[in-house]
Amino acid sequence: MDTVKQKLIQELERTPSALLQELFDFVLFLNQRYAQAQPTVPSAWQPNFFEDVIGSWEGNPLIREPQPGYEEREELL
């Protein structure tokens, strides 16, 4: 256990019972504020994204035009 945690536990053991609830509320507040300050990473896709999108094209059929020939390159040394 790190020393800060040990010191905090020692102080809590010496703290009068009347203050423990207030300290507990303060710790919850700090944890909540810390969690809100952390950046959240949004998920890449929203829920049901693929179910809503796949198969939804209702226009003319998509046609892939013929592609030109590929480029020949010199061999690397």
- Domain ranges for the chain, please list them: 11-40
Q: Please tell me which residue, 6 or 51, carries the higher pLDDT value.
A: 6
CA distance 23 to 12: 9
CA distance 29 to 23: 10
User: Which residues lie closer than 8 Å to 56 by C-beta, 6 or more apart?
Assistant: none
Structure tokens at 21: 């609830």
Per-residue model confidence as pLDDT tens digits over 17-35: 889 999 999 999 999 998 8
Task: Give the position of tokens 């994204």.
Answer: 49
Per-residue model confidence as pLDDT tens digits over 37-77: 777 667 677 888 877 777 767 788 888 899 998 888 888 87
